[in-house]
Structure 1
Amino acid sequence: MLVRTTARDGIRRPSAARGLRATAVAMLAAAALASCTQGTPQDAAPAPASPSAAPVDNADSADQAEQAASEPTEEPALPAEPAPEAVRDAFATLQATLNDTCTPGAGDCAYFLGRVTQELTELDEAMRADPKGPGHFKQPLADMKTLFTKLGTDRSTPHLEKHFSAIVGTRDGINTWMQDHPDDYR
């Protein structure tokens, strides 16, 4: 039998078929990418789909492609203000510590007090940056300022254990204040 099947021979199909499939995949990816971009200027030269998709035959097209590639791409601007949910998210992580505690001097406070202090710091930053303004969060910001003044810059475990009552009391006081202001966290 002169004609053999490729399965019996173990021979693959010619590379042209693979090339067509690769080109089709590249074109689909380029089309998907193009449909996802926003704000693309109408007069901008289109970026090539892939380097191997099609060879450039004339010098003008090559110059345009080079110019488009060398132009800086605009990255999406980050919002100037944090999203309103920043306070909500920071409060949620602080609330997650409500059922946790430790025994000062027993060696189990390093993580807990460090975490509560970090959560209070992040909540303080979120409240100050919130569109409602720091005046809206006057009481909790004052409580955190008092705590941070007591703590200073020392975040060692013995120092945090020394101020255990102030840290936990501030956390609990802010929780109570936030419960009276549900529009700030729901």
Structure 2
Amino acid sequence: MSDVTEFGYKTNALLMRLLISGGLTAAALLLWSLAGWGFSGFDAILGALATAYFGTRVLGNLYELAFPRPVIRVSDEGIQDRRLGPTVIPWTAITEFKQVTGAMGAGTLFLEVREPKRYIGPSKGFLWLFYALRGRSGQAEAGILPLTPPNVLDLGDMDLLDAVDEHAPHEIPVTPTGPKS
């Protein structure tokens, strides 16, 4: 078995997600309860669906806090982002990294891969939907898959690109992207 570098969520990022999903659950419950006071049946259905969705997100965030596990694994075989699915993206499929510069999203990495739809697994929520739409958009044979911004991952003393340099069998170019000056 090869050496693996793993990155999980930062606790404060999970707490922020929990706070947001909890607030949205409360708002959905309010909409649902107000539907009984003369609002339309549509409001009741919307409130119930939103409560179920955001309530599930609350439970998921609580689970992540109680039982932390890696989000991204970097190994000699490639990169695995569990939000995309169980498939490891091999180094041979990765053509380039794009790193966002500037104030908005600074440090966020995007993978440019050949045949991105091969690496998108079964549905895993809203972020998966973004990945799936991006990867399955029918754009030629290459596509871009985003990785988590660095302020969301607990990188410790190691940067994600350092882990890539350590494990990749060949150098993969990193292109800075951002606003034009």
Shared fold, TM over 0.5: no
Greater relative contact order, per chain length (Cα 8 Å cut-off, separation 6+): 2
Larger Rg: 1
Instruction: Indicate the structure with greater helix content.
Output: 1
TM-score (norm 1): 0.24
Instruction: Indicate the structure with greater strand content.
Output: 2
TM-score (norm 2): 0.25
